[in-house]
Amino acid sequence: MSVNLPQHNPNDQEIDLTQISKKIKSFFQGINTLIFNCIRFFVKNAVVIAILLIVGFGLGLFLDKTQKKFDHQIIVTPNFKSADYLYSKINLLNAKIIERDTAFLKRSVGLKHPEILKGIKIKPITDVYKFIENKTENFELIKLMAEAGDINKILEDNLTSKNYTNHEIIVKTDELASDESTIQPILNFLNESDYFKKIQIEEFKNTQIKLSQNDTIISQIDAVLNGFSSSVNRNQQSDKLVYYNENTQLNDVIKTKEALIYQQGVLRVDLIGMDKIIKENSATLNIENRSSINGKLKLVLPILFLLSFIFIHLFLKYYKSQMRKAQLI
C-alpha cells in the first residue's frame, strides 16, 4: 500500500513571494501618494488655510478674554445633623439655575445678579480621621463596612460622605462675583429653616448647661483632691505610720478631670460654630475655570476651522466623483 504525499512546487512559492512583494510595494506607494496629495492640498489652499488659522486664533483669543468662567469655593459645616437638608437645598438651587428661574433666585434667595450663575454643586471633604475621632461607634461602623467591600468606595459612598464634618460648595458663574452679591445670599438661603432654628436654640442651651455642669464637677474634683493633699501633708508631719488603701480610685478621679477639661475645650469650640445652621468656614472667590476648552479656544478654533475645511473639501470631491459615475450609467 502506497501513500501519496502532496508535492510542493518551488515555482508556486516564488509566485507567492512575488505577489506579497508587489502588495507591499503597492501599499507603500499608496502611502506615498496619500502624503503627496496632502502636501499638494495644503500648498494649493495655503492662503485659505492661513486665513482660517488666523481668524480662528483671533476669534478664540477674543472669546477667551470675554467668555471666562469662574468657580467660587465655599467650605461649610452643617450643624445639628443638617447634612441632608443642606444637600437638598443645593439641589434645589441648581435646578432653579438650570431652569433660569431668575424670579425665584432674586425673590427667595436674594441674588442681585442671578443671570451670571451657571450652576452650583456640593461634595464632601473626605476626612475619615475626623469622622472617627472620639466616636467609637463610627470607627466600628467603618470596620464593619470595610469587611463587606472596598474601603475606598465605602468612604466615598453617599450615605457615609454626608456625615463628614466639612463640605465644599462650588458656585459657577460666567462673570466675576462678589461675596456680598453672590455668596452671602446663598448662605442666608441655606440658613433659612424654622425647624433647624429651633434645634439650634435647644442645642445652644444644652451645650451651655454641659459647660456649667462640667465646671461644677471639676470644682468638686478639685475640692476632693485638695482635701486629699491636705490629709497627706498632715500625716507626713506626724510620727505615725499611715497606710493608704489603693482602692481610693484616685487615678480614676484624675482621669475623669482630664476628660472633663478636654470636653470643655471641645464644647467651647463647638459654641463658636453654633451661631449658624450651615456654618461658613472659608470662601475663595473668582477662580478662573480652565477645565475642558475654557481658556483654550485660541487653540481649539483654528483646529476646528481647519478640520471643517478639510471635511467640506473631501465631501465635495466625493460628491463630484459620484455624480460623474451616475452620469455614465
The model's confidence at residue 1, banded by pLDDT at 50, 70 and 90, is very low
User: DSSP labels for 58-85?
Assistant: HHHHHHHHHS--EEEEEEEEE-TT-HHH
Distances from the Cα of 280 to the Cα of 6, 39, 139, angstroms: 88, 60, 27
**Quick one: how far is CA 116 from the chain centroid?**
22
| pLDDT band with cut points at 50, 70 and 90 for residue 157 | low
H or E element, residue 242: none
Above 60 in pLDDT, residue 2? no
Grid coordinates given for 73: 469655593
CA within 13 Å, CB half, 33? 6
CA distance 279 to 264: 21
> What's at 77, amino acid-wise?
T
Can you read off the three cell numbers belonging to residue 159? 450615605
Contact between 121 and 170 under an 8 Å Cβ cutoff? The reply is: yes
Amino acid in the structure at residue 158: N
* Percentage of residues in the chain having pLDDT higher than 90: 27
Over the chain, what is the mean pLDDT? 80
pTM over 0.85: no
pLDDT at 140 over 80: no
As a whole number of angstroms, the distance between CA 207 and CA 49 comes to: 73
Cα separation, 262 vs 214, whole angstroms: 11
Query: Is pLDDT of 3 > 80?
Result: no
Q: How far is CA 106 from CA 69, 118, 171, in A?
A: 21, 15, 16
Cα-based angle 120, 121, 126 (whole degrees, multiple of 5): 150
CA distance 261 to 255: 10
CB atoms within 10 A of CB 278: 26
- Identify the H or E element spanning 168: strand 167-173
Kindly state the average pLDDT of the residues 202-210. 92
Domains of the chain: 24-65+295-320 (no CATH), 68-193+279-288 (3.30.70)
Q: pLDDT for 280-299, tens place per residue?
A: 998 999 888 877 777 778 88
Question: Position of cell 441632608?
Answer: 84
Q: Say if residue 67's pLDDT is above 50.
A: yes
User: Residue written as cell 481649539?
Assistant: 300
More confident residue, 97 or 27: 97
